[in-house]
Structure 1
Amino acid sequence: MDNNHKVLLVDGMALLFRAFYSTAMSGYFMINSKGVPTNGVHGFVRHLLTAVNHFEPSHVVCCWDMGSKTFRTDLYPDYKGNRGEPPIELIPQFDLVKDVVASFDIPNIGLKGFEADDCIGTLANQYKNEQEVIILTGDQDILQLVDPAIKVVILRNGYGNYEIYHPEMLLERKGIRPEQMVDLKALMGDSSDNYPGVKGIGEKTAVKLLSQFESIEGILANLDSLSKGHRSKIEQDLAMLHLSRKLAKIHCEVPVSCSLEEALFTIDRAKVLGKFRELEFKGLEKLIG
């Protein structure tokens, strides 16, 4: 396979959280001799290297959330307000994971006021004209970025277990096109991000309305032909529908950039192995080609 032109954009927090919680459930935090828990970072590296070996990208970039305050919390203070403080064992791993990513000479990208998704969307659009783009995440929100030149890879349970979305696959699996994803989320809300959408409208109804009327504009222009129940739900929650759409939409004009030169993927083996030794990581060397 020609891998001269393939960028892997990694949703760092999605991988770190998934790795942390998969072992934390059993109380296994891999605390090293310096007293630092490393389970999340160790699993993150395993996810990252498994994906690199599977997709063989020529370039890799890792994007991060930079704190919980973003333009979305300005619009809606309850946005993600249902999330508690991170577990104490995870907190030191936030800086540590970026340090490990830097040891691979992979750029860490993030900007205060925006989420990792926004940085991923911005970079994906910058790269897609000259590169194939693959986004690695655990988060279905990013499916709105699917495009003929952009694949979204959703991590399933375990390592190396992927659900790969391109436009046809999205239509087949979800019954909608990428550009309808934002409207789908606006209608049904998102309990994990803590915004309600239209009360009483779930995924099934939202997909049905969008396949019938294309978009929120199409639905609003045809309120007369909706069932009485659906119509009154939408009319009662119109303001929240519009707000939910703003919250759901990935902002692809974030002032971040990363040149392809910086993103070129080359591992300095000695540097990476030195970092593994420092953190007392076992069993990862074999994943470095």
Structure 2
Amino acid sequence: MTTKQQNIMLVDGMALLFRGFFATAFSGNFMKTSNGMPTNGVYQFIRYFLDATERFVPSHVICCWDMGSKTFRTDLYEGYKANRSKPPEELIPQFDLAKEVVEAFDIPNIGVKNFEADDCMGTLARQYAKDHNVLIVTGDQDILQLVDDGIRVAIMRKGIGNYEVFEKDSFVHQKGLHPGQLIDLKGLMGDTSDNYPGVKGIGEKTALKLIQEYESIDRILEHIDNLPKGVQKKIRENKDMLYLSRQLAEIRCDVSIDCTLDDALWEYDPRVVEEKFASLEFSNLVKLVN
């Protein structure tokens, strides 16, 4: 079954569920089952998920998840993502519900303790892209560093069905850098959403200019004497944080994951899915799976 080239879709479950929750929660009108279970995030997750499968027509699908806030990155830097507030209480029970829905479609939920969903997707993408076409569906720009031969990334935009697709051949035209250089860019400028500083005083504009001119952090450091005095000073004073930020930004592609393609075949029993939808009182979604 897996000898010919397949189209494998890796889904960022966290991105779809969070996006789905906040897209429908702004009014404060949470969907709930008759026994009071909030379901607005799961409902929208399903709509995003099924739209992506219809749009990109995968042969195989795998859904990846974070496994908690503690990872090897928080071990490296205590402040990593420390600025994030806890998920809203209405969202917390929906993590398990979303995974149950994925199980009903008979595809794997993948998450590895001490790593993020990004690392799982990076590992699987690199592994499968040797022989197959991989598409990662996410709302997270950090994943763009994985774009390569055989690996495309579809970034979800506002609404359902809006994607910006990035692939290797057109990437530099779209972003001004090669995919791997995004890691060095983050090393320099840091990431406010993930709460690591990079080089204090160097913003995106300066960081982009430096990477475009010198290609990498290592080459910037080799030519540091050629840089403007102010930039030199900032880099020299923040060298440790520069390297640490780069390490935090880089998606790991060597996570130990047990998942075969045969487990991920995009074929499901509509009756099982309908039963799951019925338990969540999603009667109007049934038409999407027949």
Which TM-score band applies after superposition, normalised by the shorter structure?
over 0.9
Which shifted more, 151-160 or 222-231? 222-231
Q: Which residue of 2 aligns with 1:197?
A: 198
8 A contact 2:273–2:289 mirrored in 1: no
Alignment of 1:1-289 (within 5 A): 5-288=6-289
TM-score, normalized by length of structure 1? 0.97
Which shifted more, 166-175 or 139-148? 166-175
Taking only aligned residues, the RMSD between alpha carbons, in angstroms, comes to 1.2
TM-score, normalized by length of structure 2? 0.97
How many correspondences in the alignment? 287
Partner-residue secondary structure (3-state), 1:178 = coil
Counterpart-to-counterpart distance in 1, 2:288 and 2:189:
41
8 A contact 2:5–2:133 mirrored in 1: no
8 A contact 1:107–1:263 mirrored in 2: yes
Alpha-carbon deviation of 1:34?
Answer: 1.3
Counterpart-to-counterpart distance in 1, 2:233 and 2:284:
58
Deviations 1:94-139 (A, max 9, x none): 1111011100001000011000000000011111111100000000
Alpha-carbon deviation of 1:84?
Answer: 1.2
Alpha-carbon deviation of 1:4?
Answer: 6.2
Amino acid at match of 2:128: Y
Counterpart-to-counterpart distance in 2, 1:7 and 1:251:
19
8 A contact 1:50–1:287 mirrored in 2: no
Deviations 1:207-264 (A, max 9, x none): 1111111100000000111111111111111110000011001011001131110011
Counterpart-to-counterpart distance in 2, 1:154 and 1:199:
29
Alpha-carbon deviation of 1:285?
Answer: 2.3
Counterpart-to-counterpart distance in 2, 1:25 and 1:159:
17
Gaps of 5+ in 2: none
Counterpart-to-counterpart distance in 1, 2:36 and 2:132:
42
Percent of residue pairs identical: 59
8 A contact 1:38–1:93 mirrored in 2: yes
Gaps of 5+ in 1: none
